[in-house]
Amino acid sequence: MPEIHVYLAQGRSLEQKRKIASEITDAIVRNLDVAPEVVVVQFIESSRDSKARGGILFSDRDKAAKANSRP
């Protein structure tokens, strides 16, 4: 307690997750006055075929962006 879930599309690096886990834990410890060892951070990543914004899968948004960037 507390537990933090970070919902992401896949593709972030180990180093990015390492830093986010550390900084979120620091924010929780500093503000809630709890021991670091009770803070759990879990990244719940889905493939870009399994996450959407605006009703369009990220994998489809990627394709549309690529098509639009062609000269």
Residue of 56, 59, 64 lying closest to 46 (CA atoms)? 59
Q: Which is nearer to a copy of itself, 53 or 70 (CB)?
A: 53
Active site residue 36: no
Q: What angle do CA 18, 40, 32 make, to 5 degrees?
A: 105
19, two tokens:
């830093």
Q: Which is nearer to a copy of itself, 55 or 71 (CB)?
A: 55
Smallest distance, a copy of itself to C-beta of residue 66, A = 17
Which one from 2, 5, 12, 50 is the annotated catalytic residue?
A: 2
Smallest distance, a copy of itself to C-beta of residue 70, A = 23
Residue of 39, 36, 60, 35 lying closest to 49 (CA atoms)? 60
* Residues with catalytic function: 2
